[in-house]
Amino acid sequence: MPMKVVDATVSTFGEVFEKFKSEADNHKANLILFLADNEPSTNLSWCPDCVRAEPVIYKKLDSSPDDVALLRAYVGDRPTWRNPVHPWRTDSSFKLRGVPTLIRWEDGAVKARLEDHEAHVEPKIEALLSGN
């Protein structure tokens, strides 16, 4: 099935997330992937865990038979993310501790999540995608 992908930054997240939530019933799976920004000089993520996990996540989502919506939320550059009061670290819904973090959003809440140390593990991505 086709995967719908939308991107957001810290500054655009509120507006993008509201639209994402309003369209949630149109998709079998609604996922949020919190990622590190790319370094302008290399166009690669500054986060080695993101570099490792992203291709695996996209491969699994692309091969899913279900209709999937993915909101990619970029946390910022390394100094922005390292700030202990980063908005997604302190947000009561997300409580991010690391990137990448893959979240299944269902019924207006976080139903399941994969943290940075497990976001590249294919069986865990499959389980999150299927809602198990």
CATH number at residue 49: 3.40.30.10
pLDDT-derived band at 79 (thresholds 50, 70, 90) equals very high
> How many domains in the chain?
1
pLDDT band, very low/low/confident/very high, at 2 (cuts 50, 70, 90): low
**Domain range for 28:** 3-130
- pLDDT (average), residues 53-57: 96
Q: What is the DSSP string of 16-53?
A: HHHHHHHTGGG-SEEEEEEEPPBPTTTSSBS-HHHHHH
| Order of strands, sheet of 3-9, starting from the edge strand that comes earlier in the sequence | 3-9, 68-74, 29-35, 101-106, 109-114
Indicate which residue of 33, 47, 114, 125 is catalytic.
Answer: 47
Point out the catalytic residue in the list 50, 61, 68, 102: 50
Q: What is the pLDDT of residues 93-114, one digit of tens each?
A: 999 999 999 999 999 999 999 9
Q: Per-residue pLDDT averaged across 62-91, rounded? A: 94
Burial 74-87 (b: 16+ CB within 10 A, else e): bbbeeeebeeeeeb
Give yes or no: 47 in active site. Answer: yes
Residue (of 67, 131, 76) closest to 105 by Cα position: 131
